[in-house]
Amino acid sequence: MSAVGFPQLPSESYSGSSSYSEIFHTHRLSVQSHLKGQLNNDEPLLPSYLPPTSYWTAEEKDLFFHGLSIYSRLRPDLIAAHINTKNTIEVCLYLHCLQAAATENCDVISEGTGMPINPPAMELSEKWIRQEEILAGAVKGHDSCSWRADSDGVQAQSKCTCPAIGIDASGSFSKANAYLNHLDSICLTTQETIIREPLIKSQDMRLQSQMDLLEENAEGGPSNYGLAQDLGRLDNIQNVDKSSALLTPRFQNMVENDDSLINDKILQRQLKKRLYMRRKRAEKSGKPVDPVSIRLRPGREKKIRKPSKPRPKKYSTKNKVKVDSDAEDEDNMYEPHSKSGTTRPYRLKNFFQENGIDAQMLSDMDLDLFHLSTVARLLRLFNSINDPESSPDTVSISARTIQLFSDVTREFLSEIIRRAVVTKEQEIRMKRMMPVWKYERDEVRRVFTGHLFLL
């Protein structure tokens, strides 16, 4: 195999797993750079002219070979779209010229080097496969990261060897990088909570401002509840001109200035429900309506306990009672309770906030496109199918993988939207002269989208 440029089969006593892993990593980085079009060519390709009217520059050739490695020669249309300055016919002509030149110069090149033309290998020997398995095991052990979160939720049991996410150039967020490289279900749910907190707060502030305005208007009305008493009138907020007699001048000015207050039906329904439930609870308890809305912490409300009595300075040993061993056994029969304190999601949230990972940073890292809690459920589902015996907490996903999913989704949807718009424009150009055909200029029908998904 060495005659055709392949490496010799390593001997059984070969122990160069470190050199093999270095060669493998170098080859992997080279392939990734080639697929991304980021190779540094020391000798750039020269421009060339292909008759009759095709002129190829060095940049166009680089894009051509980059597209050829991604789409193959069977899709010249995709290669032409990747270049953006050449059409499909010019790409086919260039492919034909390359094929013809390779066929003509094949014998000359082989005779000049003294190597015979051998067919490509279709099978490998069992000895070669066994040696590859040995070397691949060494590479796998070198690449695997043994980082695992402790039960505390913040401290790590070993150092993370995965590449850094790059949230800070100074590298001060090394612990945060380790968690971003190994996002389990609890980390994903915590990050989704961090991302959604500003949206919930802004929505609550907006609803609170609306309720304050309605309460202020109700105080100046003829009844105790005013406008909020008749909940059916809230459906007529969109018709502000008709119901302007029920509103104070201040409320009218704010409604006219803020169009989103009128058009947002979701906020109106939430406001209606809050006012209704608040009024019912006030009627049941015989208390006035409380206009203040406070977002409470999830869970049961803690009861106020009596302060503990001060410990006496001296203890009396007269009333001591012997503890029976049977009583101790009965106590051991019950399951031990968990330690009191904050749970792991709250500890992780505090840890992320202390390291400067807030909603804005997660948004800049493209981690806000998907619902991370749904990704966590998918991880648990995958773990239950693939390895049911292992714990769901051991399954994790890297932030780089989520970023890759986001880029692929954006690229796919952008291409679908572009093709849908182009299809609609073509339909308008074809049918605009027909007097019996009517269309909505800004409408893209579902049949277009369904057809584009099949392409």
Q: Where are the domains of the chain?
A: 2-129, 190-285, 405-454
395, exposed or middle or buried, with CB in 10 Å at 0-12, 13-18, 19+? buried
**Residue 178: CB atoms within 10 Å:** 21
Asked if residue 52 has a cis previous peptide bond (ω within 30° of 0), the answer is: yes
Using only the alpha carbons of the chain, give its radius of gyration.
35
Q: What is the pLDDT of residue 241?
A: 41
Q: What is the pLDDT of residue 259?
A: 47
Q: How far is CA 133 from CA 69, 125, 159, in A?
A: 28, 13, 27
Q: State how far Cα 236 lies from the chain centre.
A: 40
Collapsing DSSP states into helix, strand and coil, what is residue 233? helix
Spatial CA neighbour of 210 closest among 272, 132, 145, 158: 272
376, exposed or middle or buried, with CB in 10 Å at 0-12, 13-18, 19+? buried
**Residue 241: CB atoms within 10 Å:** 7
Q: Does the CA dihedral 393-395-398-402 come out positive or negative?
A: negative
Helix extents (H) in 37-163: 58-71, 76-83, 88-104, 106-113, 126-143
CA atoms of 139 and 315, how far apart (whole Å): 66
Place of tokens 């049991």: 157
Q: What is the pLDDT of residue 451?
A: 61
Question: Regarding beta strands 54-56 and 48-50, do their DSSP bridges make them parallel or antiparallel, or are they unpaired?
Answer: antiparallel
The pTM for the full model equals 0.48
Q: How far is CA 9 from CA 13, 22, 413, in A?
A: 12, 18, 47
- Ramachandran area for residue 325 (φ above 0: left; ψ -120 to 50: alpha; else beta): alpha
Q: What is the pLDDT of residue 221?
A: 45
Low-confidence ranges of the chain (pLDDT < 50): 1-15, 109-110, 114, 151, 153, 168-172, 221-259, 261-262, 323-328, 331
DSSP secondary structure string for all residues of 223-289: SSSGGGT-GGGGGGSS-TTTTGGGS-HHHHHHHHH-HHHHH-HHHHHHHHHHHHHHHHHHHHHT---
